[in-house]
Amino acid sequence: MNMMEQIISLALFEDAGLGDITSESILSASRQGTGVIIAKQDCVLAGAGVAGKTFHMLDPSMDIRMLYLDGDFVQKGSVVLEAAGDLLCLLKGERVALNFLQRLSGIATLTNTYMQALEHPRVRLTDTRKTTPGWRLLEKQAVRAGGGSNHRFSLFDGILIKDNHIAVAGGIAAAVGAVQKKASHLMKIEVEVSDMDQVKQALSVGADVIMLDNMSCAAMKQAVDFIDGRAVVEASGNVCLETLNDIAATGVDLISCGALTHQAQAVDLSMQIFPGPNKTQQ
C-alpha cells in the first residue's frame, strides 16, 4: 500500500470503519447506482485521482469517469467525476471523496491565484512544510496542480539550518560546519537569516541557499545586491497577495509561502447519487 492509499484508508476508517448505520439500514441488499460530483463554484481542480481511488478502494469494480484532471480549470456547474457501482460504497465514500477534493482543490485554486498575480516570471513560488498532518503528499501535489512549486518534502530530503539550529549549534559557522561534515556533497545547504550580519556570515561559510526570513523589502534588496549571485536567495515570511510582487521585485530567486496550504479555503463541491445504472447528470 502506497502513501496515498494509506491516507485514504485512514480517512475511510475514520468515517465508516465501524460501519454506516444509516446506509446499511436503508440498503438491505446490494444495489447499483451512479454518483456525480459537481463544482458549485469556479476552481482549479486537485485531488481527482484521490477521489477516484477512494471509491475504488471501497468497490474495486467501480467504474470511474474523470471529466477533469488535476490542474484543470473547472467552471461552476460542471460535473467533475462520475462513479458507477455499488450504492452502499457510493454512500460510504461520498464524504471522504468530497473532503479530499474540496481541500485539495482549495489549495490548487489559491496557488493559482498567487501565480496569476505574480508579475515576475523568473521568481519561483514554493510551498512550505506548513501542511495538514498526514496530508503533505497530497497538499504538495495540489500546489503543483495550481502552478506552484514544492520546497523540501520533509526533514530528510533537504538541509535547512533555521534559527533554532543556529542557537543549538552556537552560531551559523558552527551549524554549517557540522552539516558539511555529515551531509552528502550532493546536497545543498540552506541557511535562514534575519539581518545583514547573518547574511554575511552565511555567505562566508559557503551556504548554497540563503533564506531571508521576515526581512523588510528594503533589507531584502540590500541582501540580494550583496549576495550578487553567489548563492540562491529565498524570501520567507509575511508573504501574501498584497506583498507578493514587492518581495519579488527585490530580486530574490524563490518565495516560499505557507499560506498556500494553511490558509486555503475549501472549494464548494457536492455529490448527487442516483439509484440504478446510467443516470448521470451532465
Concerning whether 182 is annotated as a catalytic residue, the answer is: no
Residues with Cβ within 8 Å of residue 273, at least 6 apart in sequence? 33, 34, 35, 87, 90, 91, 94
Is residue 86 flagged as an active site residue? no
Residues 6+ apart with CB under 8 A from 191: 160, 161, 166, 172, 175, 176, 198, 202, 207, 209, 210, 211
> What letter represents residue 183's amino acid?
A
Distance CA 121, CA 253 (A): 10
Catalytic option among 31, 40, 162, 230 = 162
Whole-angstrom distance, CA of residue 245 vs CA of residue 278: 49
Residue 250, classified by CB atoms within 10 Å of its CB into exposed (0-12), middle (13-18) or buried (19+), is buried
Residue 243 grid coordinates: 506583498
Cα(62)–Cα(88) distance, integer angstroms: 12
Round to whole Å and give the CA distance between 222 and 234.
14
Catalytic residue among 127, 139, 213, 234: 213
Catalytic (active site) residue 181: no
Known catalytic membership, residue 124: no
Q: Which of 5, 72, 95, 208 is catalytic?
A: 95
Q: Is 75 exposed, middle or buried (0-12, 13-18, 19+ CB in 10 A)?
A: exposed
CA dihedral angle for residue 67, residue 73, residue 74, residue 76, rounded to 10 degrees: -170
With beta carbons less than 8 A apart as the criterion, state whether 46 and 70 touch.
yes
Active site residue 213: yes
Is residue 167 within 8 A of residue 134, CB to CB? The reply is no
Q: Tell me which of 129, 130, 144, 200 is the catalytic residue.
A: 130
Instruction: Tell me which residues are annotated as active site.
Output: 95, 130, 162, 192, 213
